[in-house]
Amino acid sequence: MEKVNFGVIGLKGIGRTHIDAIKEVEEADLVAVADIDEDVGRDVSSQHKVEWYADYVEMLERQDVDAVTICTPHFLHSPMAIKAMEYGKHVLAEKPMAVSVVEADQMIDRAEREGVKLGVVYQYRLNPIQLEIKSIIEGGKIGRILRVCMEACVFRTQAYYNRDAWRGKWATEGGGAMINQTIHYFDLLQWFVGKPRRLHGWVDTMLHEIEVEDIASSAILFENGAHGIAQVSTVDAVPTVRLEIAGERGKLVSEGSGLRLGLLEKSAKEYVLEDVVWGKPSFQWLDVDAKEKEGGGHAEIIRDFARSILEDRNPMITGEDGRASLEIVNAIILSSFEGRPVEFPISRDSYGKLLDRLKQR
């Protein structure tokens, strides 16, 4: 096999982005598309000269489809992925990979049983600033991470939720601000800092007429001992997207398109042990120039996924990676509704029962 033949399931919105990305990638070919909307399906079929299927299962029956990308509403990701795996297809799922960790577990287990690749789209990892942050942390420049503060507070109108019937509902979206708009930032948080050990979370619906949360906050203890605070929303008409990571040897501050690195002359521990009552650690702020990377975005994710199939290796972002951020989101919801901190891994049974109750509302 020299190229991977892709089918795309779900052709509105992000599905078009996947199609454009596939057509950019030398290792990939678009051979089929599926969507229940006939007008959309025929339009895409005509534009890209590929066959359209109203029933995605019929597309899966094609022998020349090696892999599929899933771009449908959240609640369909898991059943469609598992069905595709039953047909021996590799699966690249849009974020979130599922609405619950139980579904994510099932997807990961099924992929392993069927011997197919499972990847998740978290293209924010390929942003030059995020790559620079990862490099700085892994290079040890800020030392052991002590504390992190994440804000991903953006804005959505009521019309945004009204436009698509599946949005804003527990049964179909599986959550609100966290699982949709800001799960990318939870992915980055655990990618930079590590997995959580315990958290206490709170969710609320403040301004929108929706079932799910439009604001969430959490206090997090990570496995490596770091303390964290995370707050996200879709109610900030003046948006803030900011990340601060403090280590023993320095601090990273990312906001907007800027990245600053504060470097200590010696470690914070050494300053703490000085015999000086009003000690003032010496440090220097540096503006970090994050270099643009060729490609990036969805095209780079799809290129890597195609290569993972051709080279028989794990994709850049695996199902396990996709589950990690989803578990944080589920944990904050579970903690909020149970009114207590929760431990990781979270109870699959407890979250499943909670989600069933929320769906029935």
Looking at residue 81, which CATH number applies to its domain?
3.40.50.720
Same domain? For 98 and 244 the reply is no
CA dist 35 and 91 (Å) reads 17
Rg for the chain, CA atoms, rounded = 22
The verdict on residue 206 lying in a domain is yes
Same domain? For 274 and 252 the reply is yes
- Residue 318 forms beta bridges with which residues? 119
- Domain boundaries, position 105: 4-122+296-317
Same domain? For 129 and 116 the reply is no
The alpha carbon torsion through 90, 93, 99, 102 (nearest 10 deg) reads: 30
Please give the single-letter amino acid code of residue 9. I
Same domain? For 225 and 330 the reply is yes
Output the pLDDT for position 257.
87
How many Cβ atoms sit within 10 Å of the Cβ of residue 348? 16
Same domain? For 332 and 214 the reply is yes
pTM score = 0.96
The verdict on residue 97 lying in a domain is yes
Tokens 């050494």 belong to 270
Query: Is the bond into 96 cis (omega within 30 degrees of 0)?
Result: yes
Same domain? For 214 and 170 the reply is yes
Same domain? For 162 and 205 the reply is yes
**Long-range contacts made by residues 346-350, C-beta under 8 angstroms, separation at least 24?**
346/101, 348/101, 348/102, 348/105
Ordered strands of the 118-120 beta sheet: 51-53, 28-34, 4-9, 67-70, 90-93, 118-120
Specify the number of domains making up the chain.
2
Same domain? For 70 and 142 the reply is no
Same domain? For 171 and 140 the reply is yes
The verdict on residue 58 lying in a domain is yes
Strand runs labelled E in the chain? 4-9, 28-34, 51-53, 67-70, 90-93, 118-120, 145-155, 196-204, 215-222, 227-233, 235-247, 250-255, 258-264, 283-287, 342-343
How many Cβ atoms sit within 10 Å of the Cβ of residue 86? 14
Contact between residue 179 and residue 326 where contact means Cβ atoms under 8 Å apart:
yes
Contacts of 295 (CB under 8 A, 6+ apart): 24, 126, 303
Q: What is the mean pLDDT of each run of 10 residues along the chain (361 residues)?
A: 95 96 98 98 97 98 98 98 98 98 98 98 97 98 98 98 97 98 98 98 98 98 98 98 98 95 96 92 94 77 98 98 98 98 98 97 82
- Show the tokens assigned to 86: 């039953």
The verdict on residue 358 lying in a domain is no
Same domain? For 129 and 277 the reply is yes
The verdict on residue 349 lying in a domain is no
The verdict on residue 89 lying in a domain is yes
The verdict on residue 189 lying in a domain is yes
Q: Mark 25-64 as b/e (b = at least 16 C-beta within 10 Å).
A: bebbbbbbbbbeeeebbeebbeebebebbeebeebbebee
The verdict on residue 354 lying in a domain is no
Contact between residue 28 and residue 306 where contact means Cβ atoms under 8 Å apart:
yes
Same domain? For 42 and 115 the reply is yes
- 3-state DSSP call for residue 108? helix
Same domain? For 208 and 249 the reply is yes
- 3-state DSSP call for residue 198? strand
Q: Which of 303, 298, 317 is nearest to 18 (CA)?
A: 298
Contacts of 152 (CB under 8 A, 6+ apart): 181, 182, 184, 185, 230, 231, 232, 241
The alpha carbon torsion through 257, 182, 163, 74 (nearest 10 deg) reads: 130
CA dist 302 and 119 (Å) reads 9
CATH number at residue 338: 3.30.360.10
